[in-house]
């Protein structure tokens, strides 16, 4: 069964390689970008089903990347991670419909979140069960508390 395409965006080349190697089983193709500009180029050329992106990057931070992707009409699941937890950036990411938010370098629950994000992005427009739509990470718990 096809899994879809994943894009990983980070300005640290070693982390990109490590994440790509660790997430190969979750996607048919994994694209990597070392900055937001490269990410925008890839999203413009390829069908991407899920994006995992660092927030703090030079040139264009992750929130600017999701903002531009959303402005283009693309609602691909977007998973953020950062080594510098920042509630303000998290709330800005929420405003643009971030799928989830993880802390690096621990990446607790990364595989589960990627699996759900890929499934969600690949199944857009298809019928899915409620179980497939729901994931309860710390980020999702925070959203529920804010309601």
Separation CA 29–CA 31 (nearest Å): 7
Residue 140 DSSP class: H
Query: Is the confidence at residue 3, as pLDDT, over 50?
Result: yes
The b-or-e profile of 110-133 (16+ CB within 10 A means b, else e) is beebbbbbbbbbbeeeeeeeeeee
Share of the chain above pLDDT 70, in %: 82
Phi, psi values for residue 80, rounded to 5° = -100, 150
116-133: per-residue pLDDT in tens?
889 888 877 554 444 434
Global pTM exceeds 0.75: yes
Count how many domains the chain has. 1
Which pLDDT belongs to residue 82? 77
Give the residue ranges of DSSP H helices in 10-136.
13-22, 36-45, 62-71, 87-95, 110-122, 130-133
| Domain range enclosing 65 | 5-146
63-94: per-residue pLDDT in tens?
999 999 999 999 999 999 877 666 777 788 88
CATH code (residue 48): 3.40.50.2300
């Amino acid at each position: 069964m096809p899994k879809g395409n994943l894009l990983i965006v980070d300005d640290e080349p070693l982390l990109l390689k490590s994440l790509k190697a660790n997430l190969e089983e979750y996607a048919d193709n994994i694209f990597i970008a070392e900055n937001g500009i490269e990410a925008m180029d890839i999203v413009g050329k390829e069908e991407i089903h899920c994006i995992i992106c660092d927030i703090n990057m030079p040139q264009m931070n992750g929130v600017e990347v999701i903002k531009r992707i959303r402005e283009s009409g693309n609602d691909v699941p977007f998973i953020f991670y950062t080594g510098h937890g920042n509630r303000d950036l998290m709330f800005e990411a929420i405003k643009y419909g971030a799928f989830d938010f993880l802390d690096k370098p621990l990446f607790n629950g990364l595989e589960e979140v990627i699996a759900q994000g890929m499934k969600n992005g690949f199944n857009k427009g298809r019928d899915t069960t409620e179980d497939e739509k729901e994931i309860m990470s710390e980020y999702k718990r925070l959203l529920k508390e804010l309601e």
